[in-house]
Amino acid sequence: MAGGALLQVKDLRKYYRVTTGLMRRLSGEIRAVDGVSLSINSGEVLGLVGESGCGKSTLGKTILRLEEPTSGQINFNGIDVVSLHRRDLRELRGKMQIVFQDPDSSLDPRMTVGGSIEEALVVHGISDPAELEERVARLMQKVGLEAGFGERYPHEFSGGQKQRIGIARALAMDPQLVIADEPVSALDVSVQAQILNLMMDIRDRDGLAYLFVSHDLSVVKYLSDRVAVMYLGKIVELADKEEFFRNPLHPYTEALLSAIATLRPGGSNRILLTGDVPSPLNPPAGCSFHTRCHRVMPVCPQMAPELTQTAPGHYVSCHLYA
Ligand code: SF4
C-alpha cells in the first residue's frame, strides 16, 4: 500500500561532456537525463520504461548519486541528496539501494555469497560476529535461499539464484527504496516470474518502494502502481497503471503498447517504430520523437512540447494534447 512521498526528483539533468583532440576541447554534451521530474511514494512501485539508450538506467544511478547530477533536485525522505557530502552518502545508500541487471556485477567471484552479503552489512558499520551471522542467515531466508548456501561461491549458482543474492545484498540495511535496473532481463523466462514474485512479496511484507526500470511493458504492467515512459532523457508520459494501459496518449507509448498487444490473439495492428533512438548527443529539434512519430505534425520539429496534465495524475508531453 503506497504512503506519502518518499522520493521527489525535480528537473534532474545528467549531461556528459564530449571532448576531442589532445587538448580535450569540448565538442558537445550527451543529454542522458534531460530535465526529469517524478516522485515515488512509500511502498509504491513506479515502472520506468523505454528502449535501451533512452536514459532510464542513468536516471536510476543519478538518483543514487552513483552518477553525479549536472543539475536538479533529489529529495529522499526529507534529505537533500544532491548537496549531501560524499561521506554521508554511505548511510543514505543503506536506505536507497540498487539491484543491477547482471547479478555478477555485485558479486565478487572469490568471495562466498555469505561473505558478500556480510560485506554489505560491514560497510554499514555492523561488526558483531553473532549479529552478522544471524542477519546473513535471515537475509538468505528472505530471498528463498538456504542458509547453508552461504559457504558457496557465485559460480555454483544459477542466474536466478545469483539475482536472489543480489537482492539480499540490497536488502541488507532495510532500505525504503530499491532502484531495480532491469533485474530480470538477463534471466531465463522461466525464472523471471519467480524473481518478480519475490520482489513483490518483499514489497508487500516490508512496505518497500521500487523504481522498476525495464524495457518490457509486460513486466511493468505486472508489478507497477504507476508507469512513466522515457524517451531521449525525458519523461514523455506518466500515469496510474490502469489509466496508462486503458488510455495511452503519447504516440511513443501507443507504439510500445501495440508491440505487446500484437502478441495476443486478436491483438490490434502494430505501430512500427522505425529506426533507432536518435543520439542524445544530437537530439532532433522540437519534439525529439518527431523523427519516428506516426502522428507527426508541422509544429513538431519546430517546438518542444511541455509535460502537461490531461487528467488527474496523467501527464503527457505531446502537441496533440497541448
Ligand atoms: Fe508526435 Fe508531435 Fe506528439 Fe512529438 S509532439 S509525439 S512528434 S505528435
* Pick from 73, 75, 71: nearest CA to 13: 71
Question: Do 217 and 248 touch, CB atoms closer than 8 A?
Answer: no
Alpha-carbon distances of 122 from 103, 127, 175, rounded to whole Å = 20, 6, 15
**Strand pairing of 71-76 and 5-20?**
antiparallel
Q: Residue 128 half-sphere exposure, CB side, CA atoms within 13 Å? A: 4
* Ligand 1 contact via 300 beta carbon (within 6 Å): yes
Alpha-carbon distances of 119 from 115, 132, 138, 280, rounded to whole Å = 6, 9, 15, 37
**Containing structural domain, residue 206:** 5-95+175-249
Residue nearest to atom 7 of ligand 1 (CA): 290
d(CA 160, CA 183): 10
Indicate whether 144 belongs to any domain.
no
Angle at 207 between CA 46 and CA 47, to 5 degrees: 10
- Percent of the residues in the chain that have a pLDDT greater than 70, as a whole number: 97
* Ligand 1 contact via 167 beta carbon (within 6 Å): no
pTM score, whole prediction: 0.91
Question: What was the pLDDT predicted at 27?
Answer: 81
Torsion sign (Cα): 145, 150, 156, 160: positive
Model confidence at 67: pLDDT above 60: yes
Alpha-carbon distances of 52 from 71, 190, 214, 224, 277, rounded to whole Å = 23, 23, 9, 19, 8
What's 239's DSSP letter? Answer: E
Indicate whether 88 belongs to any domain.
yes
Model confidence at 2: pLDDT above 60: no
Question: What was the pLDDT predicted at 186?
Answer: 85
What is the domain-level CATH number for residue 70? Answer: 3.40.50.300
Which three cell numbers, joined as nine digits, stand for 256? 510500445
Q: What is the pLDDT of residues 20-49, one digit of tens each?
A: 888 888 888 999 999 999 999 999 999 999
Residue nearest to atom 3 of ligand 1 (CA): 318
180 Cα: distance to centroid of ligand 1 (angstroms): 30
Indicate whether 164 belongs to any domain.
no
Q: What is the pLDDT of residues 253-288, one digit of tens each?
A: 999 998 876 555 555 577 878 778 888 888 999 999
d(CA 177, CA 292): 34
322 Cα: distance to centroid of ligand 1 (angstroms): 11
Q: What is the pLDDT of residues 73-104, one digit of tens each?
A: 999 999 999 999 988 888 888 899 999 888 88
- From 229, 294, 297, 316, give the residue whose CB has the most ligand 1 atoms within 8 Å, as the site to mutate: 297
Indicate whether 15 belongs to any domain.
yes
Quick one: which atom of ligand 1 is closest to the CA of 295?
8
* Ligand 1 contact via 293 beta carbon (within 6 Å): yes
55 Cα: distance to centroid of ligand 1 (angstroms): 19
Indicate whether 192 belongs to any domain.
yes
d(CA 147, CA 110): 19
* Ligand 1 contact via 248 beta carbon (within 6 Å): no
Indicate whether 220 belongs to any domain.
yes
What's 128's DSSP letter? Answer: -
Torsion sign (Cα): 47, 58, 106, 215: positive
d(CA 202, CA 214): 19
Residue nearest to atom 5 of ligand 1 (CA): 318
Q: What is the pLDDT of residues 103-112, one digit of tens each?
A: 887 788 999 9
Counting the structural domains of the chain, the total is 1
Question: Do 143 and 172 touch, CB atoms closer than 8 A?
Answer: no
Residue nearest to atom 8 of ligand 1 (CA): 296
Indicate whether 69 belongs to any domain.
yes
163 Cα: distance to centroid of ligand 1 (angstroms): 38
Q: What is the pLDDT of residues 123-178, one digit of tens each?
A: 888 889 999 999 999 999 999 998 789 999 999 999 999 999 999 999 998 999 99
Count of H-run helices and E-run strands, the chain: 9, 12
Alpha carbon 77 to chain centroid, angstroms: 18
d(CA 167, CA 20): 40
* Ligand 1 contact via 14 beta carbon (within 6 Å): no
d(CA 147, CA 137): 5
What's 32's DSSP letter? Answer: E
Mean pLDDT of the chain: 91
* Ligand 1 contact via 221 beta carbon (within 6 Å): no
Grouping H, G, I as helix, E, B as strand and the rest as coil, residue 180 is: strand
d(CA 304, CA 32): 17
* Ligand 1 contact via 255 beta carbon (within 6 Å): no
d(CA 26, CA 185): 36
Indicate whether 313 belongs to any domain.
no
Model confidence at 1: pLDDT above 50: no
